[in-house]
Amino acid sequence: MELMAGIERDREEATSSGDGLNQPQDNMQESPGRPAKWEALPLNVVKSTGRTMQILEYFDHHQGPANIAQVARALDYPQSSTSEIMRSLNVLGYLAYNNGDRTFMPTSRVRLLGSWALDQLHGEDRLSSLLRKANQISGQTAYLAIRNKLASQYIQVAQSTTSLRLHLTPGQKRPLLRSASGRALLKNLSDAEISKLVRRINAERLPEESIICLDALLADVNFIRENGYLYIERSEISPGAAVIAMSLPENVFPVPTVIGIGGAAEVIAPQKELLVQRLRELVETHLLCRDSGSQAA
């Protein structure tokens, strides 16, 4: 609802500014008095597909957050179709939405899309390598996750090959307050914001769902604030599974991201401390540039 409210405000602003973004512009002609910056889509391209790709290319060119009106203006798109495409990309986890300033930013899911093909040509990138190594050292399912409104969403998964495993898929979502990855993604929220989320989710919970205890949730969040990871011995989402979720360096990613390992509790529990240590070493090895003394994506 927050995202939709922001989109409606953007539509109103664009309409009142008189820039014509709410008018049909399907012929993709150059607007009077403004030089074209982006080529018109070829006539044999499905319009929604082409616009989706050009919106992602716009962010690659812009290299910063942007709101709906900015994108529509730059690409000379109708306001309505721009908002629908960007909203859909947000739902799918490719764009993150900042309700404070009503801007969008690409997530790491965009970066990872097709990384397998590039790895074959140019060698594996550090993020993909990090996930693969996490999968190898644990022998269990490893994942990368970001926040998508009231959910944690997996953006890349390396499956375990053992017979007893936690099976996850990219794009899959887990409840933000009930999952290890979701709770790990709350660390930068204030206690007041977390309390508000708890009240909302408890009010909307299904009859079979348990009530979320604010004190227990804050204890988990405080633990990850201090230690950088969270360990859930018995998953509420996947019975019989244990999960480790670790925050990744904030200046490496455009939105908060966690890496996690999940598997049978009887397998994870005895080696929990070792797995946490190895994960920390992997993050430092693959994401931090020791040579230059700085961090890089």
d(CA 91, CA 69): 19
Q: What is the model's pLDDT at position 258? A: 95
pLDDT in tens, 90-122: 999 899 999 889 999 998 788 777 655 544 443
Which residue did the predictor score with more confidence, 273 or 4?
273
Q: Note the CATH architecture for domain 110-295.
A: 2-Layer Sandwich (3.30)
Q: Please determine, for residue 29, whether its predicted confidence score (pLDDT) is greater than 50.
A: no
- For 192, other C-beta atoms within 10 Å of its C-beta total 7
For residue 17, pLDDT over 90 is answered with: no
Encode pLDDT of 174-226 as tens digits: 999 999 999 999 999 999 999 999 999 999 999 999 999 999 999 999 999 99
Q: How far is C-alpha 233 from the chain's CA centre?
A: 24
Average pLDDT over residues 115-135: 68
The more confident residue out of 106 and 289 is: 106
Q: Are residues 220 and 230 in contact, defined by beta-carbon separation less than 8 angstroms?
A: yes
* Consecutive H or E run containing 262: strand 257-264
Q: Give the model confidence (pLDDT) of 137-173 as tens digits.
A: 999 999 999 998 899 989 888 988 777 678 888 888 9
Quote the mean pLDDT of the chain. 81
Q: Where are the domains of the chain?
A: 2-106, 110-295
Top pLDDT among 288 and 135 is at 135
**Does residue 150 contact residue 175 with C-beta atoms inside 8 Å?**
yes
Percent of the chain with pLDDT over 70: 80
Which pTM does this prediction carry? 0.68
Encode 150-209 in three state secondary structure.
Answer: CEEEEEEEECCCCCCCCCCCCCCEEECCCCHHHHHCCCCCCHHHHHHHHHHHHHHCCCCC
pLDDT greater than 80 at residue 21: no
pLDDT bucket at 253, cuts 50 / 70 / 90: confident
**Residue 111, pLDDT score:** 73
Q: Is 70 exceeded by the pLDDT of residue 5?
A: no
Angstrom distances, CA of residue 235 to CA of 126, 230, 241: 29, 12, 6
Q: Which two tokens stand for residue 215?
A: 């004190």
Residue 37's pLDDT is 57
CATH 1.10.10.10, domain 2-106, yes or no: yes
Nearest-CA neighbor of 136 among 290, 294, 282? 282
